[in-house]
Structures are given as structure tokens and as C-alpha cells.
Amino acid sequence: MVNGEPAGAECTRASLLGRYEIGRTLGEGNFGKVKYARHIGTGGHFAIKILDRSKILSLRIDDQIRREIGTLKLLKHPNVVRLHEVAASKTKIYMVLEFVNGGELFDRIAIKGKLSEHEGRRLFQQLIDGVSYCHDKGVYHRDLKPENVLVDRKGNIKISDFGLSALPQHLGNDGLLHTTCGSPNYIAPEVLQNRGYDGSLSDIWSCGVILYVMLVGYLPSMTGILLFFIRRLIFKGDCQIPKWLSPAAQDLLKRILEPNPMKRINITGIREHEWFKKDYVPAVPYDDDEDVLPGSVLSIKEQIDEPAQEKCTHINAFQLIGMASSLDLSGLFEEEVFELGPSLYVVELRKSHGDSTLYRQLCERLTDELGACKTEQIMRTESLSDDLLSLDGEAFPLSGF
């Protein structure tokens, strides 16, 4: 063990980013990787998201990156992943983030099948604290799901992945949000109606689905694999809440998973609910000038270890956000900035890691349900969606993942 990390997490001095030693890969996506890193001066642990600018432009997700950086700059809360620093080179963008070493909430539920009400309550309290703080800062996440909630080794949650978040400048003239986005299993019904929606209430719906999954172990039966089924079932609001949950837990779930946003319980109501209040200790946001990890907000001034022909430009997070008004980070991109259309999205969701045995079980389950694919064909795919829905509205238990 080295500073609480396994020996495999040690970094070699041959791979440096300023004063950070870069180590193993923590995760990998379509447009970059997340690497473990250790600050040479303080020994602090970090996660560095390394984004490929050419892929960002080709996938037209520059707006998503701008939002994530701009949003994380605003947020300093124990239950939200922190952005400490940003650097850029000709080909890469580097985001130095808080290192959360316990994995995704999704994996925690998948391993246990479901959580006890005691554990689920504690995590839900932290989730609501983090989401409430974001809303107070004018930030609406819009893609809350167990895969975007990390858990550290102490069992505390950290909300992450703010690429689809909305800020006050994204509100329409009616004071509502209008972009349809999110993950099908967790999206609020009003978001699908294309009439505008309250970002706070839509986030609350997603939190309710997360609570359901934590306590029950699988997704509510109100969603389906096609948009047609999603619309038909989600608006019915016929979520079947198991009777074996405590009456207070059942009541809270019913009040959160209310299809009519005007009747849905708000965060104040959640905090006043008897089930939520039990053993509740509110989280305290960090002071604006407080640096949680010693030496964490340090400018990357040393040469980034890249090919010699590339000239690197080094900027910290505050300089990056201040490059232009309205969080415009177009200076990082040497091509035209593309605007995402306010329409329905077709999203490919990928599972980047997990137990291979559970993965095979999932493939077999999909084969049985869909009846049109062979297991061998599914197994050859690079990855599968981790937001899966059934054709008939019946949920897949997460314990089978």
C-alpha cells in the first residue's frame, strides 16, 4: 500500500503532467481516459480526465465539455466531485478531479442486490444534500443515475458527470428548461413532453428512481426500451412499490415518483418527511476559499509530457472559465463550435468495466428477452448499455448484472 493506494496505483516519473505523476487507467470512454494521479509535492491522490480534442470536435460534444468544466467550477460540496485544476495542450484537455476510490453506486447496488433502508436512507440523504446545493447554485444535473454517483471508501457519495447540466443562462423566457436529455430509466415524464420543465423537479424524479433502485434492487416497471413504451408507461405513473418496504419509505417514493410535477414533493418536503429525517445530519458546503485537499489547487506550470513537436498551453480552471463570456471555451477548439439541437436524443450507453460473469448473465438475459440475437453476437460487441429496459415494461433486477 502506498498512501492508502494499492501498489499497482503507484506512478512512475516517466509519466508526468506538471507536478502530477500519472498512473493506472481508472476508466475509458469514447473521447478520453481517466487516470489515477499523485501530486509530487503533497502526495495527494487525484483523478485526471484526459480528453482528446479531435474526438470532442468530431463527436460535437464541445458544449458538453464546456458545461461540465463551467459547472464544476461553481460547486464545492462534500457530496459533489470537485474540479481542482484544468490544463490544455494542442491535442488534449486535462481536468484534475477529486479522486473517489469506491466506484459507482451502480456497482454497489449490483453487488448487494439491494440496500437496507438504513444504508439507502443515509446515501439518499447525501444525494439530496448534494442535489439541493447544486440547485441553490443554479445548477440542474439532468442526468442523475447510479452510474453518475460515485461512492468513496468511507461510504459517502459524490455526484459526478455534469456534462448535461443546465445553468441559469439555459432557461427559456418562461423560466423553464426545454432540452430533452437524460437517461431513459431515470428521466422525468415532463421532460418528454417538450413543453418545458422545472430542472429542480426533474432532478427530484431522478433521485426518486435512484432511491427505488437502492431499496428494491431493480428499476421501477414504468419504463420500456423504446420511446413509445417509455411514453406510454411512464405517464401512467403505475410504479409498483413493494409492500415489504416500510410504510414511510413507500409514502416518500410515491410522493417523489408522482408523474405530475405540480403535485410532486420538492426538496423542502423531502427533508421534512419522517423517513428522510431519521438520523439526518446535513452536509456543510466547503467555504469558497477552502482547499479541501492540501496543495490541490496548484497551477500546472511545468511542461506536460507530450511529443516534442507539440507546444503546450497551461491554464488553470479559473483562467479557462474566464477566457470568454458565458462560459465559452471555444478558445480550446480550433474548429467551428457546434450547437446541439433541442430535440430528442438517441444515446449509446456503454459499460466500461464490471464482473465478466455478471456480464455473461446479462447477455443471456438479453437473449431470452429480445429473442432476436444470439449470445455470441452480443458477446462480440465492445460493450452493452448499462441502462437497460425491457420491451414489455418488466424490469431487469440489478442483482443479476
Q: What amino acid positions are annotated as catalytic residues?
A: 143
Residues 6+ positions from 155 with CB-CB distance below 8 Å: 102, 122, 123
Do the beta carbons of residue 295 and residue 40 sit within 8 Å?
A: no
Beta strands in 236-359 (DSSP E): none
**16 SS3 class:** strand
Nearest alpha-carbon partner for 400 in 350, 355, 348: 355
Contact 381, 60 (CB under 8 A): no
Pull the grid cell for residue 246.
Answer: 416500510
Contact 248, 273 (CB under 8 A): yes
Ligand-binding annotation for 49, yes or no, is yes
Q: Is 10 exposed, middle or buried (0-12, 13-18, 19+ CB in 10 A)?
A: middle
Asked if residues 114 and 216 have their Cβ atoms less than 8 Å apart, the reply is yes
| Contact predicate 348/385, CB 8 Å | yes
Task: Name the helix (H) or strand (E) containing 37.
Answer: strand 32-39
Contacts of 306 (CB under 8 A, 6+ apart): 89, 91, 92, 312
Rg, the chain, Cα only: 21
What span, in angstroms and rounded, lies between the C-alpha atoms of 212 and 127? 13
Binding positions are: 49
Binding positions for ATP are: 49
